[in-house]
Structure 1
C-alpha cells in the first residue's frame, strides 16, 4: 500500500509544474520518442522522462488504431498509467476491457498481464509511472 501511495504522489509531483523544490523532470515533450517494436505493438512510441532506483516515468504516445501487446512488468511493485489526452481501452489477461478516461489514473500490481489500444480518431498521450 505504501508503494501505491508513492506512485500517486509521484504522479502528482510530476504533473505539477512547480513541485516543492525538487529537481525538474529530466525530459519533456521534446524528448525524442522511440517506436516500440515487437509483435503486437502497432503505432506506439515512448520516451523515458525519469529513471531512478525507485521510480521510472515514461511518456507514451498511442496513435489512432494503435495497440500495445499483452505484457507484464515483473520488475516493479506497481504500475500507474494516466491518459493525459484522449481515452484508451485497457486489456486485461482474462479478456476484460476497461475504458480509461483522460486524467483518470489506473493502478496495476507488478506482474499483471495487460495491454491497451486506442480505438479513437486522435492520438492518446499517456504518462506511465513504475514503482519498484
Structure 2
C-alpha cells in the first residue's frame, strides 16, 4: 500500500480534481520557462558591418514600363521597374502630364537620373 500512496502523491498535478488556479499556475510556469530558455544561453558576439554598401540591385539595368494608376479618378502616370519579368518597384512618372502643376511639366529631354529628383 505504500507504493499506492506514493503513486497518488506523485500524480498530484494530474489529479482530476485539480483546481483551475493550480492548472493556470502550472501552465504559466511552463510557458515562462519555455520563453526564458533562449534568453539564458550565452550568445557569441557578432560584428556589425559599416561603411561601403553594395550596389542596390534595383538600381541596375532594368526594363521600365510606363502606365497609369487607376486607383482613383486622377489617372496619374506611373513607371514600373521590371527585372527578369518580375515587377520590383513602382514610381510616379515625372513625364506624365498629370504628375505636375499646369504649365510646369518636366521636359522630355531631361535625363532619367535627373528626373528622380523632381
TM-score normalised according to structure 1 size: 0.26
Larger radius of gyration: 2
Structure with the bigger percentage of strand = 1
Higher relative contact order (CA 8 A, sep 6+): 1
TM-score normalised according to structure 2 size: 0.28
